[in-house]
Amino acid sequence: MYPRVRSVSMNNWMNCQDPWNNAAQYKILRRMSDFTAPGPAKTWLLIDERQESINDGFFVVTMNQRGTGCYIVDYPAGYHNGAAGLNFADGHSEIHKWRDGRTTPRTKQNANILLNVPSPNNQDVAWLQERTTGLK
């Protein structure tokens, strides 16, 4: 294992090549004019990612798996008393407290956490989905 050299990741819908999980009905955000519904103040760009979850530069929020079919792909950090920092497209930042225990499982030292797991009705994933991208 190598030590992690960063703790933030970018929204996977920012200028990606293809929609995640074939969710072609959602916008890939490439320019500021794409930031509508949600607007820049409600679209996050960067997030504190949990160290055992870091596997690439993107933080994946799947948009077409919701409610009982919800998945948590990457895990946000909980370094701020169970909360993580997010930066938004309008330039502001927020600390968001996670509410579902599945979003912040116990830390694993020197091991990666299993990614892309079912997390039915996870209100934290729903919160991220509302602030990740919108329909075309």
Alpha-carbon span 19 to 28, nearest angstrom: 7
pLDDT given for residue 117 in this prediction:
96
d(CA 42, CA 92): 10
Render each residue's pLDDT in the chain as its tens digit; 136 residues.
666 777 899 999 999 999 989 999 999 999 999 999 999 999 999 999 998 898 889 999 999 999 999 999 999 999 889 999 999 999 999 999 999 999 999 887 777 889 999 999 999 999 999 999 999 9
User: What pTM, to 2 d.p., does this model score?
Assistant: 0.93
What are residue 57's phi and psi, to 5 degrees? -90, -5
